[in-house]
A = this chain, B = another copy of it.
Amino acid sequence: MRRKSLSGAPCPIARTLDVIGDWWSLLIVRDCLKGMRRFSELQKNLDVSKNILTRRLRALIAQDILTLQPAADGSAYQEYRLTDKGRRLFPVLVALSQWGRENLAGIDPNPMTLVDREYRQPVRPIEIRAHDGRVLGPGETVMTRLG
């Protein structure tokens, strides 16, 4: 597929997809949010070739979404860690997860669900709210420049 750069697009959705609009990149971020840090863990969990994983990790580092640093346990390993910018992708992944669970669950009678760690209760569905708390549908919003 031809890839046209959208890094200078005015729309922040387009700019974001230019950076993380890649199937593997978001799955790597997902696994890092789960606590995975090592190349071998990521490769095993994603079942991806070393080449592809290496390229994606490099791109994520170049975008300041991941950093590579010495292992916290003092061993010779290096670890991939999410930057703050990378951790801020959490709501994107939760929104993807919610949509998948509600729309693609298929016949799984007991689908994977995001819960809070302490009480094991499902998180609340994401809603888009106005400044005054009203829930907004897509037709009640518009993308604009405020200045």
Contact = CB atoms under 8 A, between A and B. Distances in A.
B124 A141 contact: no
Interface residues of A, number: 86
B19 A23 contact: no
A129 interface: yes
A143 B102 CA distance: 15
A13 B96 contact: yes
Given A12-B96, A95-B95, A144 B116 contact: no
Given A16-B100, A123-B130, A141 B112 contact: no
Contact of A136 (B52, B123, B128): B123
Contacts of A141: 94, 114-117, 123
